Amino acid sequence: MNVIDVTPRPAAYVGAVRFLQSRLMSILGVLFILTAMKWGTLLFVVHQYETVIITRFGKIIRTIAAPGLKMKLPVIDKVQRFDKRILAWDGPPTECPTKDKLYIIVDCFARWRISDPSLYYNRLNDERSALSRLDDILGSETRTAVASHDLVEIIRVTKGRKPLRDEELEKSGTVLPSSIPEIEFGRGEIEGQITQRTRQKIADFGIELLDERFKRSKYNPAVAEKIVERMSSERHQIAAKFRSEGRGEAANISGQKESDVASISSTATKIALETEGKADAEAAAIYTAAFNSPDAQELYSFLRSLQVMRAAFEHDTTAVISTNSDLGRMLKSMAEATAPAKPSH
């Protein structure tokens, strides 16, 4: 059973319903919905650090460098963003020979920026392609520059450098190289040459190269090991020479010491003997002066006799002595001197 509402409504309400159901309102509603869904394709933001190129079907229609909120046509317009800041290039280590036939590994880095976004987009399109092109060009120019100069030119920076001198080494006869090879260009000028040549080649790509620098230069590991061994061998030779000279100097000092000791000992012995001889002579002179008088001579003879008697009769000794001998007469006189006096009658 169908129920039909026949309740009368105001004319304004009926008019509003008819307007909402009209075809124009339907089209506006569809556009509103599409705009709401595609808001990101209609508006976009340009930052301070970037340049934006708007392309339509792959063709550049405008370039925007000023930051802010911008508009484009949805779907058909594409936004290409390019960084205005200074960008870095860090190339892979490259092994290359120098002019003096020494193989080294050179590691470089560079700073670059996009100078012409339109040309950059047409030739390279993105940063990955730009870095690849820089790898080729900078790598080639670096190898060419290294191959055109000696190793000392790649390593050295300053000209007219004076070597340090070690006076002790010079005195010992072990003199290290007294001069450093002079350089004509130096590392800084070689880096400048690489930068100038690369700028000319990458200008057609909308890129400006600010500078290029050697980050590190080193020998090939196999060659470096041999060089270290050679340097170690040279140091060992110098050390062995020092040790040999030290042992020789020690032997000279030891020999000189023994010679000095023998000379001093001989001189001291000579002086001691001379002093002893002089003392003996003076003692003999004193003895001679003391025993030169008759009384002194008699006293001396008496003392010597006493010494002989003491030595002869030290133990129980029996001796037969003539009374006419000196010793007999001495004993007889001593006995008479020590005998008690006879009483007088």
Reported residue count of the chain is: 345
Question: Same domain for 145 and 203?
Answer: yes
Q: Tell the residue number behind the tokens 């940063």, with chain if given.
A: 127
Buried residues in 307-335 as b, exposed as e (16+ CB within 10 A):
eeeeeeeeeeeeeeeeeeeeeeebeeeee
Has residue 147 been placed in a domain? yes
Give φ, ψ of 53 to 5 degrees: -115, 130
DSSP state letter for 22: S
CA angle 125, 128, 129 (to 5 degrees): 55
Question: Same domain for 132 and 150?
Answer: yes
Question: Same domain for 58 and 113?
Answer: no
Has residue 68 been placed in a domain? yes
Question: Same domain for 59 and 181?
Answer: no
Has residue 322 been placed in a domain? no
What is the rounded CA–CA span in Å between residue 166 and residue 182? 21
pLDDT recorded at residue 195: 92
Question: Same domain for 129 and 157?
Answer: yes
Question: Same domain for 38 and 143?
Answer: no
| Domain around 42 | 21-83
Closest by CA position to 91, among listed 108, 113, 112, 105 = 108
Question: Same domain for 127 and 207?
Answer: yes
Cα separations in angstroms, 64 against 56, 61, 71, 114, 119: 14, 10, 11, 14, 14
Has residue 178 been placed in a domain? yes
How many domains does one find in the chain? 2
Question: Same domain for 63 and 152?
Answer: no
Tens of pLDDT along the chain (345 residues) come to 444 444 555 555 555 556 555 666 667 666 666 664 555 567 788 899 999 999 988 888 999 889 888 888 877 888 889 999 999 999 888 888 888 888 888 999 999 999 999 999 998 888 899 999 999 999 999 999 999 988 888 888 776 666 666 666 666 555 555 566 677 888 888 999 999 999 999 988 999 999 999 988 888 777 777 777 878 888 888 888 888 888 888 989 998 998 899 899 999 999 999 999 899 888 888 877 776 777 777 777 777 777 877 777 777 777 777 777 777 777 777 767 666 666 655
Six token digits for residue 266: 């001989």
List helix spans (H) across the chain: 11-20, 23-37, 39-42, 117-123, 127-147, 151-155, 167-172, 187-202, 221-290, 294-312, 326-338
Cα separations in angstroms, 100 against 106, 151, 185, 231, 271: 16, 7, 15, 19, 74
Has residue 282 been placed in a domain? no
Has residue 121 been placed in a domain? yes
What is the domain-level CATH number for residue 112? Answer: 3.30.479.30
Question: Same domain for 129 and 112?
Answer: yes
Which residue among 83, 117, 132 closes a domain?
A: 83
Question: Same domain for 26 and 74?
Answer: yes
Contact predicate 98/147, CB 8 Å? yes
Has residue 199 been placed in a domain? yes
Which residue among 185, 219, 253 closes a domain?
A: 219
Question: Same domain for 59 and 96?
Answer: no
pLDDT recorded at residue 209: 92
Question: Same domain for 109 and 59?
Answer: no
What is the rounded CA–CA span in Å between residue 144 and residue 154? 12
pLDDT recorded at residue 75: 75
pLDDT recorded at residue 87: 92
Six token digits for residue 136: 């080729």
pTM for the whole structure: 0.54
Has residue 135 been placed in a domain? yes
